[in-house]
Amino acid sequence: MQRKDYMTENAPRAVPASPEPTRGTRRRRTPRLATTSGVLTYVFIALAVLLPVPYMLQLPGPVFNTLGDYQGDPMISVSGAETYPTAGRIDMLTVAVSGGPGRDVFASQALGALISGDQTVVPTEAYYPLDTTREDVTESNAVEMSSSQDVAVAAAMEQMGKAYTVHLSVDEVVADAPAQGKLRKGDRLISVNGKKLDSDPEAAQIMSRTVQESDSVELGIERDGKTKTISLTPGTVDDRKAIGITMKQDFEFPVDVEFNVDGVGGPSAGTMFALAIIDELTPGAMTGGKHVAGTGEITPDGAVGPIGGARQKVSAATAKGATLFLSPADNCAEVMAAADQSKITVARIDTLDDAQTTVEQYAAGNTSDLPKCPADGADNNEKGQ
């Protein structure tokens, strides 16, 4: 209807017949040219906004209470030790992603996302590097989620002073690398240059550090129940020494922890998982019945690392009703730019101990000394900012 009105208002008026076009007649043809030009402009705009673009959209995703149920069963179940009632919520957060192979994002969607306060436009290559399929990414995300669960249990045990063991093994051998023909998938790594690896929680770090510092590597391994020594000379990849293997960690914990999380991938729920495990294994409700949300990768020794999609996660947490958001230090700037601070308090965390202490202080009503992200998102270690 608007297009019809536009065309009517700009149609040329009739003029008397004359032997030759007059100056006035030529002027009266101008609206027809304007009409044609306007239509073409709208056609080009329509085509532009409907064209697919090589970008993906990040949007706030589903929110899960790690202390609650998922599809009728507890999200986290702990057995093998005494557990205690919990209260409130410790939410893990997700990012929904639109686009990728076979699922085009159009220019109009990308423009809308740029205007939106809780969406982000990212290059497709950020999720799908060259020749990577949707199945590849799904599998990788599932592996990261499984690994983050093991590491979360390890971090929780470390925080609670409970001993556990970890075994390091070869997961894959890279073709044409120094390890090819010498190491096999499944080989258990016992030692490196005389340093014990087996049962050491820091085995992966010790292994990586030793390879970087050494011109030759002596690996003690266990294969088919027998031990042997393998000698390797590291190669160089991107200015770093490497022997050409990926490693897998197998943990043995004093408790059994089962996770009930389907259809969610990636490593960023580790910190929230660890807090929930600690809460179940210690008397008293950590949250005091309050609603806490947060994010962050975690290492076995409890270091909290940055994550992607911080803007979407704080938006989802606020919409769900959380009043405290735990942000990895390196995500402070993005979180503070997106957070509605009239509805949610943002606290900076560097370690699992920071996270637990912050939640307990918040539960007790002590908010003045929380390690808050500064208002401008700058990186500092001051509390109560």
For position 37, what pLDDT does the model report? 61
Q: What is the CA radius of gyration of the chain?
A: 29
Higher-scoring residue by pLDDT: 258, 124: 258
> Mean pLDDT for the chain?
85
Dist CA 76 CA 139 (whole Å): 22
Sign of CA dihedral 237, 242, 243, 247: negative
What pTM does this model have? Answer: 0.77
Region 7-11 average pLDDT: 35
pLDDT at residue 10, rounded to an integer? 40
* pLDDT tens for each residue of 327-343: 999 999 999 999 999 99
Confidence of residue 8 (pLDDT cuts 50, 70, 90): very low
Closest CA to 356 of 284, 299, 279: 279
Per mean pLDDT, which range of 124-138, 181-195, 274-288 is the poorest?
Answer: 124-138
Q: What local confidence, expressed as pLDDT, does residue 114 receive?
A: 76
Mean pLDDT, range 9-35, rounded to an integer: 46
Strands 89-98, 291-294: parallel, antiparallel or unpaired by DSSP? Answer: parallel
pLDDT at 92 > cutoff 70: yes
Q: How confident is the model at residue 380 (pLDDT cuts 50, 70, 90)?
A: very low
Q: Say if CB 180 and CB 244 are below 8 A apart.
A: yes
pLDDT score at 176: 93
Of the two residues 156 and 134, the one the predictor is more confident about is 156
Tens of pLDDT along 276-287? 999 999 999 999
pLDDT of residue 40: 61
Coil vs helix vs strand at 355: helix
> Encoding tokens for residue 173?
């051998």
Mean pLDDT across 94-122: 80
Percent of the chain with pLDDT over 70: 84
Tell me what pLDDT residue 43 has: 59
The Cα-based distances of 103 to 53, 56, 181, 290, 367 in angstroms read 11, 9, 41, 39, 45
Say what the pLDDT of residue 383 is.
41
For residues 315-327, give the mean pLDDT: 97
What the block records as the tokens of 127 is 């999720």
Residue pair 163/245 in contact by the 8 Å Cβ criterion: no
Nearest to 276 by CA among 108, 65, 73: 65
Phi-psi region of 161 (alpha: psi -120 to 50; beta: other; left: phi over 0): left
- pLDDT at position 224 is 94
